[in-house]
A and B are shown apart, each in its own frame.
Chain A
C-alpha cells in the first residue's frame, strides 16, 4: 500500500476522534468523509445525523449534498427538517457536531458567510446553514479544515458561528452550556484549546510535518502545547477503508 498523503492522515485522524457511542451531526465535505470512515472502521455503531432529517444513516458512498437519497434509504428514520432542528438538535440529543469552515480564528470561531464587509462583500460565501445552532447545541464540536493562512486568520471577516468567542467565559455569558470546539484536525496537525485561554494550540504534528510549516500556514501567532506528540500514522485497515470509500464515491457521482 502506498504511503498516506497528508489529506488522508487528516481524515483518518479526524475519524479517530469519534467514539462508537457518539451521536454525530455531520457537516458536508471533509466532516462527512471523516464521520463515515469512523463508522466503517472503529465505530460501527455510531449514529450519524444529517440536517436533511436522516437519523442513523449508513451510506455506501459519500453523499454530494446533505440530502442525497442514499442517506434516507439507509437511515433508521427520516424526520422533517423542523423536527430535526427542534427535537434532535435543540433537544440536546447530539453529542458531537462535526463542522468545517472557510475562515477560522484561534478560538475556533467560524466564518462561512462573507469575505469582506457583509453589506458589500468581496466574496459572498454560502452562509451558515445549520452551523449557528449546531455550534451551540451539540455537546462538543470537532472541526476539520485544511491548513492555510487564508483559512486560519487573525480576525474573522464575519462571525457565522461561535467557538470560544473572545476567550474563557464567553460562551457561558451568552447562556451556552455546551463545550464548543474541543478538537481541530488539519492536514498538518491536531490542535486543542488551551484549558486556561481557550486558544487553539498544536498538540500533535502529523508525521514529517515541522513546527515551522504549521506556523507559516497559520495567520495568527501560533502556540504549541507543552507536550507536542507525533500523530499516529494511519493503519493499513484505516487507509484501505478510506481509499475504498473514496473510490466508490467517485464512481457513483460520475456515473449519475
Chain B
C-alpha cells in the first residue's frame, strides 16, 4: 500500500546497494529528482535498466555507481552521443561497465512480460540484427502452432522501479497522462515501486474512465516533488527543457566539468531545487 512520504525516506527504505533498478519515462516524466536522491545517498554496484539511458543514467555512470546497464538506445536524443556512457564503455572511466543491449521492441515486450508474470517475452524481432550474436539473452523460440521462428528475451522484473507522474490522490493512487511509455509495466513488474508526482490532490476530478491510473496498492511510496522530472517534462505542467539537454553535451564532455556539475547540482542540493521548474500551466 502506497505511503505518502518524503523523498529521502522513500529512497532509503526502498533502494539498496546492488539493486536491479529501473527508472523509466520515455522522454516524458523521467524521475530526475528521485535519481539525484539515489545518487546523494551513495548506492553503488547498481544494475540499471532503462530503454533510453540518456542524461539520467549518464549521471549514475559518470559517478561510478553502475555495474551493469540494460538498455536499448544510449544517446541524447536529437543532440548526440551520451558522453559519460561513452567514456565508460570506451575507456572504463571511472570504472568498467557491463552492458546488455536490446532493441526498443525487445525491452518494451520484456517490461510487458514482467508485468504479466511471464518468464519471457516473445515477439517478431531481431531478424538480421547483429545484437542477437553479442547478447546471450536474445534467443529464439518456435511457434508451436505455425512453426514460425520468433525472438525471445527474459522478462524485466526490477527490484525497484522509480517513475514520475502528474498526480496522486490521498490514497496514493497515481494518474499518468501524455506519453505513458512503459510507466505502468515497469511498476507492475517490479518488487518495489516509488512514484514521484507533481502534486497530491483530494481527487482526480472528471477524468476518462480509461485514464491510466496505478492503484495505490501497487506502489510502495508516493512522494510529492514539484518539477521532479526536469529537464524532462510533465505534460500539463511544464515543457521539456530542450536547451538543457543541449547543454548536457557540454557538461558531460569533460570529466572535471561533469564532476563539478554533479557536486554542485546533485550532491550538495536537495529535491526542493526542482521546485522552480514546476510552474503549472506553462504547458
Q: 1/0 contact trace for A22-54 toward B, CB 8 Å?
A: 000000110000000000000000000001111
| Bound-state Cα–Cα, A135 to B128, Å | 10
Counting CB contacts under 8 A, is B103 at the interface? Answer: yes
- Which residue on A lies nearest to B237, using beta carbons? A69
Counting CB contacts under 8 A, is B51 at the interface? Answer: yes
Q: 1/0 contact trace for B243-254 toward A, CB 8 Å?
A: 111100000000
Kindly identify which residue among B104, B108, B235 contacts A72, using a CB–CB cutoff of 8 Å. B235
Minimum CB–CB distance from B55 to chain A (whole Å) comes to 11
| Bound-state Cα–Cα, A215 to B70, Å | 40
Contact A69 B182 (CB under 8 A): no
Contact A160 B129 (CB under 8 A): yes
Minimum CB–CB distance from A88 to chain B (whole Å) comes to 11
Q: Which A residues are CB-close (under 8 A) to B128?
A: 109, 135-136, 159, 161-162, 165, 170-171, 174, 176
Contact A64 B78 (CB under 8 A): yes
Kindly identify which residue among A73, A159, A254 contacts B243, using a CB–CB cutoff of 8 Å. A254
How many of chain B's residues have a CB under 8 angstroms from any CB in A? 57
Q: Which A residues are CB-close (under 8 A) to B124?
A: 90, 133, 136-137
Q: Which A residues are CB-close (under 8 A) to B184?
A: 80
Q: Which A residues are CB-close (under 8 A) to B77?
A: 28, 64-67
Residues of B162-219 at the interface with A, using a CB-CB cut-off of 8 Å, are 178-182, 184-185
Contact A81 B245 (CB under 8 A): no
Kindly identify which residue among A67, A118, A123, A127 contacts B72, using a CB–CB cutoff of 8 Å. A127
Minimum CB–CB distance from A55 to chain B (whole Å) comes to 11
Known: A69-B28, A171-B128. A53 touches B179 (CB 8 A): yes
Contact B90 A124 (CB under 8 A): yes
Contact B129 A69 (CB under 8 A): no
Q: Which B residues are CB-close (under 8 A) to A169?
A: none
Q: 1/0 contact trace for B22-50 toward A, CB 8 Å?
A: 00001110000000000000000000000
| Bound-state Cα–Cα, A107 to B239, Å | 41
Residues of A163-204 at the interface with B, using a CB-CB cut-off of 8 Å, are 165, 170-171, 174-176
Counting CB contacts under 8 A, is A95 at the interface? Answer: no
Contact A81 B240 (CB under 8 A): no
| Bound-state Cα–Cα, A45 to B235, Å | 26
Considering residues B71, B82, B105, which has the most beta carbons from chain A within 10 angstroms of its beta carbon? B105
Considering residues A51, A54, A109, which has the most beta carbons from chain B within 10 angstroms of its beta carbon? A51
Counting CB contacts under 8 A, is B131 at the interface? Answer: yes
Contact B111 A82 (CB under 8 A): yes
Q: 1/0 contact trace for A126-142 toward B, CB 8 Å?
A: 11111111011100000
Contact B242 A80 (CB under 8 A): no
Q: Which A residues are CB-close (under 8 A) to B259?
A: none
Counting CB contacts under 8 A, is B13 at the interface? Answer: no
| Bound-state Cα–Cα, A54 to B27, Å | 12
Counting CB contacts under 8 A, is B112 at the interface? Answer: yes
Counting CB contacts under 8 A, is A10 at the interface? Answer: no
Contact A124 B81 (CB under 8 A): yes
- Which residue on B lies nearest to A180, using beta carbons? B128
Kindly identify which residue among B101, B125, B185 contacts A127, using a CB–CB cutoff of 8 Å. B101
| Bound-state Cα–Cα, A253 to B241, Å | 8
Residues of B215-247 at the interface with A, using a CB-CB cut-off of 8 Å, are 233, 235, 239-246
Minimum CB–CB distance from B109 to chain A (whole Å) comes to 6
- Which residue on B lies nearest to A116, using beta carbons? B90
| Bound-state Cα–Cα, A159 to B127, Å | 11
Counting CB contacts under 8 A, is B255 at the interface? Answer: no
Counting CB contacts under 8 A, is B8 at the interface? Answer: no
Minimum CB–CB distance from A72 to chain B (whole Å) comes to 5
Q: Which A residues are CB-close (under 8 A) to B67?
A: none
B residues whose Cβ falls under 8 Å from a Cβ of A: 26-28, 51-52, 71-75, 77-79, 81-82, 85-86, 89-90, 101, 103-105, 108-109, 111-112, 123-131, 134, 148-149, 178-182, 184-185, 233, 235, 239-246, 283
Closest 5 CB pairs of A and B: A67-B27, A162-B128, A126-B75, A129-B73, A65-B77
Task: Pick 9 A–B contacts, CB within 8 A, sort by A.
Answer: A64-B245, A81-B51, A86-B108, A123-B90, A125-B81, A127-B75, A133-B105, A162-B129, A253-B246
Apart from the given pairs A82-B182, A118-B130, A126-B75, 13 other A-B contacts in the complex at a CB distance below 8 Å: A53-B26, A53-B181, A64-B79, A69-B240, A84-B108, A90-B105, A123-B86, A125-B75, A127-B75, A130-B73, A132-B129, A165-B128, A175-B149
